[in-house]
Chain A
Amino acid sequence: MRGRARTVTVVASCLVLLAAAVVLGVRALGREPTVTLLANWTGDDERNLRQAVIEPFERKYHVHVDYQGSSAESQVLGADVEAGTPPDVVVLTGPGELADYAGQKQLQPLDGLIPREDFGASWATPLADGHVYWFPLKADLKSIVWYPAGTSEAERRRARDDPAQWCVGMGSGATSGWPGTDWIEDILLQQHGPGVYQSWAGGRLSWRSPQVRRAWTTWGRLMGAGTSSSLLRRTLQTGYAEASAPVTATPRGCTLEHQASFIRTQSTAWNQVDGRYAPSSELIPGSTADDSWEVSGDLVALLHTTPQARQLIRYLSSPTAQRAWATAESAFSVDTRAQPTTTGPTWHHTLATTLLSPSATHCFDASDAMPPTIRDAFAEAAIDYLAHPGHLDSLLTTLDTLRQAPGQTWLPAVCDRVP
C-alpha cells in the first residue's frame, strides 16, 4: 500500500509541477524590462528618434523603450503625474515646467548620472537645492532668419518691410502660437539686451513695461497685424512646419522665415531653395544687442528611478547618443564631446559654432523658461494679438496678472551671462 501511495504521489506531483512550469514559462516569455519615455516628437522626428537613439539602446541593453510622442506633451505629462503614473523619463522643451515639477518633488536628481561639466553651466543648471534635474539632448539657435540662397542683403531688407514676405505659421496643435512667442522674445532680446530679457523671463519685469510693449508692437508691424484678412488667415491657420512652403512657388509666396535652426532640415522647402540664415539682429528694427542669441533645447529629466530608467539617462547623456540624435535630426548637441566634424554645409557648421561660442550670450527661450500657465497664455495672446492688435493692453494686463500670481516657480537665470 505504501509503495502504491508513493507512486501515485510522485507521478501526480511531477504532473502538476510540469503543467505549472509549462504554463508559467509560456507566460513569462516575452516579458522584458521596460522604460517609458515621453517627448513631443511625432512623425519623422519620432522615426528618427527610434532609429538613431531608441533601437540602438534596446539592442545594447535589452531594455524595451515604450515611447509616447505628443504635441500636447505638457497636458499628457500633467495628467500622468496627477494619475500617479508618470513616465520614467521625459524630454521637455521647457526648463520652467521642469523647475515646476522639481519644486513638486516629482523629478529625481541626476547627480552622478550625467557628466554635468560637458554640457556647460547654462544647460545643466543646478536648482536652488543644489541638484541638477535635467540635461539637453539637443539644442537649437532661434535668433536667426532663413532666406533662399542668392537673396541679397538689400532684398532681405526690402522683404522685411513687407508683411506678406514673411513665412509664418502659428499652428502647432495643442501648442499653437509658439512661433509668435519666439518672435516677441527675440525682438525683446535684440532691442533691449540680455539684462532686460532675463529680468522679464524671470518674472521680474512687467508685461506692461515699455520694453515688452515695444517688442509686441514691433512684431505686429512686421506681421501686418490687423491689416490684411487673407494674410492673417494664412498666418494663423498655417502649421509652423508648412509655413515655408510658399518660398518655392514662382513667384515666391514669401522670402523670410524667423524660425529655429531645426526648420532647415525639417522643411523640404528650405532644402529645395538651399536656405541660408542671417542673425535676426540684422533684420529686427531697433536691434542694439551684441552677439546675443535666443536658444532652446530638448531637456531630459528623470521622474521615476528604475535601473532601466537610470540606464537610459546615462545612455542619452553619452556622446554616442548625443551625436546619433544630432546627426539624425541635423541638429546640434551642446555636449562638448559630441561635436560634428567640420565637413558638411557651412550654415550647419557656423550654427554649431555659435551655439558653443564662449564669447556669445545665449539666453534660453523665455516662454519655455516661464511657468507653464504663463507660457500657454503667452502663446494664446500672440494669436489673439495678430487678429486684434487693439487688444494689446488687455492681453498684457492679463499676462501681468498671471505673472503676479503666487506660488509659481521662476528660473533665476536664463542667460549664460548678462553683460
Chain B
Amino acid sequence: MSAGTDTVSDGPPRGRPRPVEGGSTTAHDLAVRHRLLLVLSGLLTLSLFLSYEGVHGDANPLRTSSAPAVLSIDTALYALGQAERDAGAATPTSDFQKQISVAAQSVAAAAGDDVGGASGRQALQTVAALITVYAVKVQQAQLQPEGDVLRQAYLSYATSILSDPGSGILARLKVLQEQQRAAVHRQTSFGPLLWSGWAATLLLALALAGCLLETQLFLRRRFRRRYNRGLLAAGALLAAGLAVTLLFTVWTHAGMTDTRRLLDRPLAGRQLTDAGRATAAYLADTGLRASAAGWILIGGILVMALAETGLRRHIDEYRFRPR
C-alpha cells in the first residue's frame, strides 16, 4: 500500500479518486483503505459468525436433546436388563414393576428429547408399546404355578420380545443409542470445515488488524494527527470481540468434548445418575454463550461504522476542498 507522493492540497475532483499523472494520490489511497476496511470487516463478521455458529449452534441440541437422549436410552437398557433378571421371580415383584416403570419413563423422556426426529419418535413409540407387551407376558408367566409349562412358555415369549436380534426391544434401543451417539459425535466434532472456518476467521482478523494499523500510520503521515479515534476504537472492538468469542468457543468446545468422552462409555446403575449431573455441569452456560452469536453481527456493524466514521472526515475533506 503506497503512502502517496504529495500533500493534501492536490486532491482530485469529487467522486473520481484515481489520480492523474503526477497528481496527488491521497484521495485515492483513502478510498482504497476505506473500501478495504469495510470489505474486510464484512468478511470477518460473516466468517466469525458462521464459525461461531458452527460450534455453538450444536451446543444447544447437544445439551437439550442428544446428550439427555443417550442417557435416557442407557437408563432404559439398564432398567430392562434388571427387569429381565427379576422376571423369573416366583411371584410378581415390585422390583420388576419399578424397572419397567423406569424403562417406560426413560423411553418417554427420550421421545421428549426428540431423538432422531419423526423417525426416532416413531421408533420410540414402537419400543414403548413393546415394553408394555413384554411386561404383560412376564405377568402372564408369573400368574402360572411354579413349574407349569405355560410359565416357561410365556417367559420365552417375553424374552423373545425383549431380546430378538433385530426386532427385539434391546436391539431397537441399541440402534437408537448408536444413532444418538453418532449425533453426539457429529455435534462435538471439530471437523475440517470448522478448522477452515476458524483459520479463515483468524487470517481475516489479522488482515483487518494490519489494515487498521496501516491506515492509522497512513493518516498520521498524511494528516499529522497522532491517533484516529474511530480506527482505534474499531481495533479495540476487534481485539476484544475476537478474544471473547475465542474464549467462549474454547469453553463450549471443551464442555462438549468432555460430554462426548463421558457418553462414549457404557453406563449402568449409579454411573447414569452421575453422568447426568456431570453432563449438565459440562454444558452449563453453553446456551448463554451460543446466544452471543447475534452480537457478532452487531459488533461487525459497529467495527464498520467506526472505520467509516474514522475515515469519512478525511474523505469529505478531500471531496469538498476548494481547488
Q: Which residue of B lies closest to A20 (CB)?
A: B297
Is B304 a contact of A34 with CB atoms below 8 Å? no
- Which of B160-168, B183-191, B242-250, B277-285 sits within the interface? B160-168
B53 proximity list for chain A (CB < 8 A)? 23
Is A11 a contact of B304 with CB atoms below 8 Å? yes
A11 proximity list for chain B (CB < 8 A)? 38, 42, 304
* Given A11-B38, A15-B297, A239-B160, also A85-B152 (CB < 8 A): no
A239 proximity list for chain B (CB < 8 A)? 160
B297 proximity list for chain A (CB < 8 A)? 15-16, 19
C-alpha spacing A278/B138, complex, angstroms:
38
Q: Is A354 an interface residue (CB 8 A)?
A: no
B129 proximity list for chain A (CB < 8 A)? 70, 72, 75-76, 78-79
Mark out the residues of chain B between 137 and 170 whose CB falls within 8 Å of any chain A CB in the assembled complex: 137, 140, 148-150, 152-153, 156-157, 160-161, 164, 166-167
Contact with A along B282-323 (1 / 0, CB 8 A): 000000000000000100110011001100100000000000
C-alpha spacing A34/B117, complex, angstroms:
11
Is B301 a contact of A12 with CB atoms below 8 Å? yes
Is A7 a contact of B308 with CB atoms below 8 Å? yes
B88 to chain A, nearest CB (A): 15
B contact residues, total (Cβ < 8 Å): 42
A42 proximity list for chain B (CB < 8 A)? 164, 166-167
Is A173 a contact of B149 with CB atoms below 8 Å? no
Q: Is A149 an interface residue (CB 8 A)?
A: no
Contact with B along A378-397 (1 / 0, CB 8 A): 00100110011000000000
Is A387 a contact of B149 with CB atoms below 8 Å? yes
A75 to chain B, nearest CB (A): 4
Q: Is the interface of B mostly helix, strand, loop or mixed?
A: helix
C-alpha spacing A14/B123, complex, angstroms:
43
B245 to chain A, nearest CB (A): 15
Is B126 a contact of A76 with CB atoms below 8 Å? yes
Report the number of A-B residue pairs with Cβ-Cβ less than 8 Å: 126
Is B167 a contact of A171 with CB atoms below 8 Å? no
Q: Which residue of A lies closest to B43 (CB)?
A: A15
Is A83 a contact of B153 with CB atoms below 8 Å? no
Q: Is A18 an interface residue (CB 8 A)?
A: yes
Identify A15's interface contact among B57, B130, B150, B301, CB under 8 A: B301
C-alpha spacing A104/B132, complex, angstroms:
23
A contact residues, total (Cβ < 8 Å): 49
B55 to chain A, nearest CB (A): 14
Is B153 a contact of A15 with CB atoms below 8 Å? no
C-alpha spacing A215/B160, complex, angstroms:
30
Q: Which residue of A lies closest to B119 (CB)?
A: A66
Is A387 a contact of B42 with CB atoms below 8 Å? no
Is B152 a contact of A233 with CB atoms below 8 Å? yes
Is B125 a contact of A236 with CB atoms below 8 Å? no
The 10 closest A-B pairs by CB, nearest first: A42-B167, A236-B153, A76-B129, A75-B129, A66-B119, A174-B133, A176-B157, A12-B301, A79-B129, A237-B156
* Contacts A11-B304, A174-B161, A176-B153 supplied; 9 other A-B pairs, CB < 8 Å: A4-B309, A12-B301, A15-B45, A15-B46, A72-B161, A171-B153, A171-B156, A171-B157, A172-B157
Which residues of A are in contact with B by a Cβ distance under 8 Å?
4, 7-8, 11-12, 14-16, 18-19, 22-23, 34, 36, 38, 42-43, 46, 66, 68-72, 75-76, 78-80, 83, 85, 87, 170-174, 176, 229, 232-233, 236-237, 239, 380, 383-384, 387-388
Q: List 13 A-B contacts (CB under 8 A).
A: A4-B312, A14-B42, A15-B301, A19-B46, A23-B57, A34-B118, A70-B130, A72-B126, A85-B122, A171-B160, A176-B137, A380-B140, A383-B153
